[in-house]
């Protein structure tokens, strides 16, 4: 090995320091949220920076986990995430596979129409009127059907399918596979990194569903987790400003505990998809 010069050592040291600071800035907001959720109000008021708890209390978590509304919202969000992601992936895979075939008649026109919807939408009010006229108000379908197909994810998946060598598909057809056989036996197994990445994007979007729920869901029994979180934050603010004896006077602990409860499931699932995410981050970007 060649000896490392002073300039190289300085450069590496500066890189390590920069990355350490970047890592701290990235992780500190989450760490602060966790700490505030488990400390009493008095300790929270002592300082605006919380690196380590002096006293640990789980009152906020105990109060939240005892609420039936939380578990209802969890079940709604899990249903939206599971069913919605399944619908998303079925439509995205089928559409992307078809559009990846340049011999498909009219595929340029279809792609133009798809791109047009990416740039221009009908607007909030017309969409609301359509959802209402379809009778989807206060229905979980109102949170899944409008998001059934994401244009960007479709284009990325189409690009990934297009990068698979045509010779593999031709060989499968010679062996007797039809188009569905090629899709399920050749294309999908070779595309698992991309499919897992797109599925993760869809699942996280459904888990964080808020915008459509605000407009289309008024029944509290159908509130997804993010609407429940908003309701908890508003109730906490009003109770805290009004005073009195209330669990919400746990103050910021209630807020942060609610955020943690909504965030932890995604954090637990992500490591299992990380290997696919790393492979699929540049999916379709390089073609032979």
> 114-126: per-residue pLDDT in tens?
888 888 877 888 8
Distance between CA atoms of residues 208 and 137, nearest Å: 19
Distance between CA atoms of residues 215 and 24, nearest Å: 37
CB contact at 8 A, 212 and 142: yes
Cβ atoms < 10 Å from Cβ of 95: 16
- Which residue, 156, 13, 232, 128, is CA-closest to 5? 13
> 29-68: per-residue pLDDT in tens?
888 888 888 888 777 777 777 778 888 888 888 888 888 8
Domains of the chain (ranges, CATH numbers): 1-57 (no CATH), 58-280 (1.10.3720.10)
pLDDT band at 288 (very low <50, low <70, confident <90, very high): very low
């Amino acid at each position: 090995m060649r000896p490392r010069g002073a300039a190289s050592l300085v450069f590496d040291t500066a890189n390590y320091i920069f990355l350490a600071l970047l890592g701290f800035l990235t992780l500190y907001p989450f760490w602060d949220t966790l700490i505030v959720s488990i400390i009493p109000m008095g300790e929270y008021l002592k300082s605006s920076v919380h690196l380590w708890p002096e006293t640990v209390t789980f009152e906020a978590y105990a109060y939240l986990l005892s609420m039936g509304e939380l578990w209802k919202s969890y079940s709604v969000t899990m249903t939206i995430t599971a069913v919605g992601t399944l619908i998303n992936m079925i439509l995205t895979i089928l559409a992307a596979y078809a559009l990846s075939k340049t011999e498909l008649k009219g595929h340029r026109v279809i792609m133009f129409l798809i791109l047009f919807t990416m740039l221009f939408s009908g607007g909030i009010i017309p969409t609301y009127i359509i959802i209402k006229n379809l009778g989807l108000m206060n229905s979980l379908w109102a949170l899944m059907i409008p998001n059934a197909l994401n244009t960007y994810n479709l284009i990325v998946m189409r690009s990934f399918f297009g990068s698979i060598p045509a010779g593999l598909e031709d060989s499968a057809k010679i062996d007797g596979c039809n188009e569905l056989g090629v899709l399920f036996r050749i294309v999908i197994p070779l595309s698992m990194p991309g499919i897992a990445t797109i599925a993760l994007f869809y699942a996280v979007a459904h888990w964080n569903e808020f915008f459509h729920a605000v407009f289309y869901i008024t029944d509290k029994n159908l509130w997804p987790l993010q609407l429940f979180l908003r309701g908890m934050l508003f109730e906490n603010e009003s109770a805290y400003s009004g005073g009195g004896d209330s669990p919400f006077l746990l103050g910021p602990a209630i807020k942060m505990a609610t955020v943690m409860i909504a965030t932890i499931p995604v954090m637990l699932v992500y490591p299992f998809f990380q290997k696919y995410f790393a492979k699929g981050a540049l999916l379709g970007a390089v073609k032979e």
